[in-house]
């Protein structure tokens, strides 16, 4: 079989497995997940040995330090991975949840019931923990999953997958419920994106270019997790001490992630008081500031921001800073340059907070808190498969319920339409 035929066959098998998975009871799913977590612990040495081979090959191929760090799986990270699986066991099963129920005047009982999506394909880059994580989340939500990891992590991914499937199968995992694409050839990805007959959703996890490529070429719906150009707006009526803590956290606590702040907007009335203190706090933590003209008159050692800065996701200790004349100007700026991911207002004025949360068209809008909380675990979802930057189906952090759809189940007693 050539690669497209191989992928088609995987799709067909996944499709068949999905029928069995859709009605698998919660306790069976949890028993299987527990067996899989135990197997990863038990096979830890073999998995780490496989990872060592990947690391050696990666170093020889000249992968960057950042990439090698993402690729590394040591015993601490392996422990975190199995703990993640145990948390997924604890989460409530979304399948079968009743989302609505109406009795119509003609006696029809219409129930809206949560059901799995069917088949999910996850296309990811170097982090091997995604293999376990994504498989477990898709499985718990009753979906068959096809995994396609990065070339550089292939030995590690295969070792994790083999451990999970072997132990899972003994515990009752249906055949083909969790498949790993055996080849690292890119033709396999292209074939997956064409398989709208058998795959219901594709989730790309990785950098912007991976997500863009998948979104542009896919015939299958894609859960897009694009970049976050997140803003903090310090209002005229902000508690400036609180504002300083929030911006330091939003920028510095983990600058390389999508919910970190990239642009700070400050109301002109508080800028002269706020910016010197904020600038000092940021610069003492190594943050490079790129300000607009008025900001640079206050922070005289700041660089001047170019127009490109306002839509830049730095993912680094760099921050663009602008002074705005009003709340409306701040909202306009965010709507114009932002990516509708996570945006914050710091204010004690309830009316300003209400207008900001009403008018800023982002998946998550905050009043008086750091943007860094946009995350499935922080939201109480227990785990996340990604953060959707689209508006259709799911928005913001996506957990188990976002890996499902619904059907209407209607029970009658012979009703016909007049």
Which residues form the interface with a second copy (CB under 8 A)? Answer: 19, 22-23, 102, 104, 108, 110, 115, 117-118, 200-201, 221, 239, 242, 245-246, 248-250, 253, 335, 353, 357-359, 361-370, 372-374, 378-380, 390-393, 395-396, 405-417
How far from each other are the two terminal CA atoms of the chain, in whole angstroms? 54
Q: At what angle do helices 208-217 and 187-194 cross, to 10 degrees?
A: 50
Nearer to a second copy, 241 or 293 (CB): 241
Neighbours of 92 (CB within 10 A): 11
Helix (H, G, I), strand (E, B) or coil at 244: helix
Least separation, in Å, of the C-beta of 120 and a second copy?
11
Nearer to a second copy, 25 or 272 (CB): 25
Nearer to a second copy, 318 or 367 (CB): 367
Least separation, in Å, of the C-beta of 331 and a second copy?
9
Least separation, in Å, of the C-beta of 341 and a second copy?
11
Nearer to a second copy, 209 or 413 (CB): 413
> Is 85 within 8 Å of 136 (Cβ atoms)?
yes
Helix (H, G, I), strand (E, B) or coil at 118: coil
Least separation, in Å, of the C-beta of 43 and a second copy?
33
Q: Which 8-state DSSP code applies to residue 403?
A: G
Nearer to a second copy, 67 or 242 (CB): 242
Structure tokens at 276: 């010197």
Residues shown for the chain:
418
Nearer to a second copy, 242 or 317 (CB): 242
Least separation, in Å, of the C-beta of 376 and a second copy?
12
How far is CA 340 from each of CA 112, 225, 336, 359, rounded to the nearest angstrom?
30, 11, 10, 11
Least separation, in Å, of the C-beta of 79 and a second copy?
20
Residue among 196, 203, 199 at smallest CA distance from 148? 203
Q: Which 8-state DSSP code applies to residue 305?
A: P
């Amino acid at each position: 079989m050539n690669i497209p035929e191989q992928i088609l066959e995987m799709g067909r098998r996944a499709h068949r497995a999905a029928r069995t998975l859709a009605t698998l009871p919660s306790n069976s799913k949890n028993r299987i997940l527990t067996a899989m977590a135990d197997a990863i612990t038990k096979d830890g040495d073999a998995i780490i040995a496989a990872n060592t081979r990947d690391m050696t090959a990666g170093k020889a191929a000249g992968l960057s330090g950042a990439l090698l760090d993402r690729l590394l799986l040591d015993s601490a990270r392996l422990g975190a991975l199995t703990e993640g699986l145990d948390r997924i066991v604890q989460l409530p099963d979304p399948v079968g949840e009743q989302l609505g129920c109406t009795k119509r005047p003609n006696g029809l009982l219409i129930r809206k019931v949560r059901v799995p999506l069917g088949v999910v394909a996850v296309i990811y880059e170097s982090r091997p923990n995604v293999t376990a994580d994504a498989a477990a989340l898709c499985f718990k939500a009753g979906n068959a999953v096809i995994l396609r990891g990065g070339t550089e992590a292939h030995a590690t991914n295969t070792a994790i997958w083999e451990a999970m499937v072997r132990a899972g199968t003994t515990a009752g995992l249906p055949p083909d419920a969790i498949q790993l694409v055996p080849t690292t050839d890119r033709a396999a990805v292209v074939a997956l994106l064409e398989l709208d007959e058998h795959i219901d959703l594709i989730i790309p996890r990785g950098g912007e270019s991976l997500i863009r490529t998948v979104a542009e070429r896919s015939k299958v719906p894609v859960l897009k997790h694009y970049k976050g150009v997140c803003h903090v707006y310090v209002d005229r009526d902000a508690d400036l001490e609180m504002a300083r803590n929030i911006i330091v956290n939003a920028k510095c606590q983990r600058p390389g992630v999508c919910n970190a702040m990239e642009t700070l907007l400050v109301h002109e009335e508080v800028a002269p008081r706020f910016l010197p203190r904020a600038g000092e706090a940021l610069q003492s933590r190594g943050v490079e500031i790129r300000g607009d003209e008025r900001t640079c008159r206050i922070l005289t050692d700041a660089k001047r921001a170019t127009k490109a800065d306002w839509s830049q996701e730095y993912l680094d200790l760099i921050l663009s800073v602008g002074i705005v004349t009003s709340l409306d100007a701040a909202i306009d700026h965010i709507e114009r340059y932002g990516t509708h991911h996570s945006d914050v207002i710091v204010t004690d004025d309830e009316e300003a907070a209400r207008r900001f949360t009403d008018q800023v068209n982002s998946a998550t809008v905050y009043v008086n808190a750091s943007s860094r909380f946009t995350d499935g675990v922080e939201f109480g979802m227990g785990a996340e498969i990604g953060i959707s930057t689209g508006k259709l189906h799911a928005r913001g952090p996506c957990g188990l319920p976002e890996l499902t759809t619904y059907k209407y189940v209607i029970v009658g007693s012979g009703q016909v339409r007049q």
